[in-house]
Structure 1
Amino acid sequence: MTGRDVHILSAAAALPGPALDNATLARRFGMDPLWEQWVDAFIGTRARHLALDLETGKQTRTLASLAEEAGRRALAAAGLGPGDVDAVVLATATPDQLMPATVNVVADRLGIDGVRSFQLQSGCSGAVQALDVARQILLSGSGRTVLVLGGDVIARFYDLETDLRKAAPAELVNFVLFGDAAGAAVLSTDPAPGSAAVRALFTRLVGLGRPPGAVLEWFGPADRHSDRPAATEDYKAIEEHVPTMTGEVLDEVLTGLGWRGDEVDLLLPPQLSGRMTKLISERLGLPRAQDVSCVDDAGNCGNAIVFLQLQRALAGALGPGRRAVGISIESSKWLKAGFALEGN
């Protein structure tokens, strides 16, 4: 290991199609107007972007196309080209295919070749896992620049024929919580104006003995007609565990760096739903931290979330000497992740 720093030079995102508000979903699925009010009051997410035409059921974007767009934007923002990239890392829970790996499809489209590539299968904290892999590559001296990608297309798992009026809560909640998106960041050992130094970063599995809080099925030819729902979410378990886990991550990051809570300028909180994110931020009690949030208008877009937040933070709020803490919690088998940045 070397003593050099790793810097995030740029971040970018790609969202499919126009934003779909709760009223649009209510009309499409024949839900009572009271359902829309319930979503607003108890979920708090106003809109999301879907890579799916709700009327025809046709998928309009793939993860590869979204990640290509985000990666191209991130490289351009960093003033770099495909030949400058030493490795590519992608995190996703919803690859377009089991093979070839989506990361390699994206690299090909971007004109990147002759480098190491990695694809991590994970929920939303996979974005931080991907940043961690990139950081370790750079700290080992194996390169100077890594393109990190993350994203999910959840809408391809929706059954548009489902009668939501009869759906179980664990299935119903997925139609309002999630959105589709991809994001990208360029990490380097060389700082640049507007970049941020990574001061801390960790991910940790803490799911021993805990049942999954979220399940996303994969069906093959042998069980394609299974009556198991494609996606389920134990929202009650998430409400119970995520706020506590978020506080643990914040304490670990601050203690490890010797930072005080009143020295944090930006907070990138978990983006589970508009309501829960707001409650978690209030509970953390950072006196002057500005929330960097995207869930209200983009939904919970899985592995793209952290990159959407980074894009907003690097756009001006994270200036020289300013400090940010990011937290990501994954409920599938309970992972917690955190990172800290300081503007260059």
Structure 2
Amino acid sequence: MTDNPHETRAGGRPVYLASVGTALPGDPVDNAELARVTGANQEWIEVFIGTRTRHFARDLNTGEVRFSLADLCARAGGRAVEAAGTDLADIEFVVLGTATPDTLMPATVNEVADRLGIDQVPTFQLQSGCAGAVQALSLGRSLIASGEYRTGLVIGGDVCSKHLDIRRDVSKAAPSDLVNYVLFGDGAGAAVLTDEPVGEQVEVKHVLNRFTGLGRQPGQVIEWFGLADRHDDRQALTEDYKAIEEQVPVMAVEILWELLGELDWSPDDLDYLLPPQLSGRMTRKITEQLDVPSATEVSCVAETGNNGNALPFLQIERLLEKMTAGQKALAVAIESSKWIKAGFALEKI
């Protein structure tokens, strides 16, 4: 422990979360509508997935793209800056975590900065799945803790629907293929980080971000197609849901106890728990295995679908509606693409 109250456990200044903003495209799509369009079985969606609604950047009936990732991230970022009560001119860096950029070049983060009117600042884009938002939070926290910057914007978002052929009848698809049509949604979230306790006055106490996939097969693969191979008979998005279902609950428990140990917190110290947001059913299963009865669960996936890097910000948004001075929250996130452990701890001062 440091003797300096103005230094974090990892060194440097404390970092605060001043605000959060989110953006979900269009109206929620329920299971009946999803089943009608795709041919999936509504009862199977509700029992096996346990997600009730989700939002799509594409119109399910026409296939028209209504929102790009940059659209959603700019909207979420603008809302976060407004909620923080700060000016866009005060933002000194922008970090975006995503698995589904609009283009490989230019980086989507730069399109977002342009739409927000932010210029002459460092920008970073982290290519990652469900852990990307935590990686963005980790980088933003480090930049401010170093003392070089005072205020920054971190963003997470994904438009997963771009990888799905909504004209395809999936009624006879294998479960490993079908799950991709009913599990995911689209969205974005953002947070303003500061070196002083302004706005929500929530300190980012710790962030965990660790690759643990040495020698392990990926649990999820998103292909990229170029001009030379775009007609290959390959599925754009594949997921080993059985491996995910087996490994994620175990990893979640490991992350929980690792974070508690780093913070010298006990489970009874937690007021809120933000579990991994895979699906409504999986999140319930994981929360039961985490077994922290003193903490109130904060989840959103049953209403938003699995929209990847937007999820932690959607959870934080719900958390901030409840959190009061002195309360502690711990979040667990896992990326199954090549297995990344992630999480963070928050405390309202």
Which secondary structure does the structure 1 equivalent of 2:155 belong to?
strand
User: Which residue does 1:190 correspond to in 2?
Assistant: 196
Change (3 A) 1:118 1:193: closer
Moved more, 6-15 or 194-203: 194-203
For 1:30 and 1:200, how far apart are their aligned partners in 2?
Answer: 44
For 1:107 and 1:23, how far apart are their aligned partners in 2?
Answer: 38
User: Which residue does 2:102 correspond to in 1?
Assistant: 96
Contact 2:58 2:64 in 1 (8 A): yes
Partner residue of 1:259 out of 251, 260, 265:
265
User: Which residue does 1:24 correspond to in 2?
Assistant: 33
User: Which residue does 2:143 correspond to in 1?
Assistant: 137
Q: TM-score, normalised by structure 2?
A: 0.95
Moved more, 149-158 or 168-177: 168-177
Length, aligned pairs only = 340
Partner residue of 2:323 out of 318, 324, 344:
318
The alpha-carbon deviation at position 338 of structure 1 amounts to 1.2
Contact 1:270 1:277 in 2 (8 A): yes
For 2:11 and 2:276, how far apart are their aligned partners in 1?
Answer: 31
Question: Is 1:243 aligned to residue 249 of structure 2?
Answer: yes
CA deviations on 1:192-243 (whole Å, 9 max, x unpaired) are 2522101111100001111111111111110111111111111100000000
CA deviations on 1:161-190 (whole Å, 9 max, x unpaired) are 322023222221011110000000000111
Partner residue of 2:340 out of 329, 335, 342:
335
Contact 1:2 1:141 in 2 (8 A): no
CA deviations on 1:223-277 (whole Å, 9 max, x unpaired) are 1111111111111000000001000100001111111101100111100000110
AA of the residue aligned to 1:157: H
Which secondary structure does the structure 1 equivalent of 2:62 belong to?
coil
User: Which residue does 1:161 correspond to in 2?
Assistant: 167
AA of the residue aligned to 2:110: N
Contact 2:276 2:283 in 1 (8 A): yes
Partner residue of 1:289 out of 285, 295, 298:
295
Q: TM-score, normalised by structure 1?
A: 0.97
For 2:171 and 2:205, how far apart are their aligned partners in 1?
Answer: 48
For 2:39 and 2:195, how far apart are their aligned partners in 1?
Answer: 53
Contact 1:195 1:314 in 2 (8 A): no
Change (3 A) 1:2 1:99: same
For 2:187 and 2:47, how far apart are their aligned partners in 1?
Answer: 24
Which secondary structure does the structure 2 equivalent of 1:106 belong to?
helix
Question: Is 1:58 aligned to residue 64 of structure 2?
Answer: yes
Change (3 A) 1:335 1:65: same
For 1:193 and 1:221, how far apart are their aligned partners in 2?
Answer: 48
For 1:161 and 1:312, how far apart are their aligned partners in 2?
Answer: 34
For 2:120 and 2:39, how far apart are their aligned partners in 1?
Answer: 51
For 2:187 and 2:291, how far apart are their aligned partners in 1?
Answer: 30
CA RMSD of aligned residues (A): 1.1
Which secondary structure does the structure 2 equivalent of 1:12 belong to?
strand
Question: Is 1:13 aligned to residue 19 of structure 2?
Answer: no
Which secondary structure does the structure 2 equivalent of 1:107 belong to?
helix
AA of the residue aligned to 1:340: A
User: Which residue does 2:123 correspond to in 1?
Assistant: 117
For 1:169 and 1:226, how far apart are their aligned partners in 2?
Answer: 22
CA deviations on 1:30-58 (whole Å, 9 max, x unpaired) are 34xxx211111121011100001111111
Identity of aligned residues (%): 57
Partner residue of 1:181 out of 187, 206, 211:
187
Which secondary structure does the structure 2 equivalent of 1:190 belong to?
coil
Contact 2:13 2:146 in 1 (8 A): no
Which secondary structure does the structure 2 equivalent of 1:173 belong to?
helix
- Structure 1, unpaired ranges of 5+: none
Contact 1:87 1:116 in 2 (8 A): yes
CA deviations on 1:268-297 (whole Å, 9 max, x unpaired) are 110000011011111111121111111000
AA of the residue aligned to 1:159: D
CA deviations on 1:124-168 (whole Å, 9 max, x unpaired) are 111000000001101111110010011000101111232202322
Contact 1:194 1:319 in 2 (8 A): no
Contact 2:20 2:192 in 1 (8 A): yes
Contact 2:13 2:144 in 1 (8 A): no
Partner residue of 1:70 out of 42, 63, 76:
76
CA deviations on 1:3-38 (whole Å, 9 max, x unpaired) are 42100000111000000011101111234xxx2111
For 2:167 and 2:61, how far apart are their aligned partners in 1?
Answer: 11
Which stretches of structure 1, 4 residues or longer, exceed 4 Å deviation after superposition? none
Q: 1:201-240 alignment to 2 at 5 Å? A: 201-240=207-246
Contact 1:265 1:290 in 2 (8 A): yes
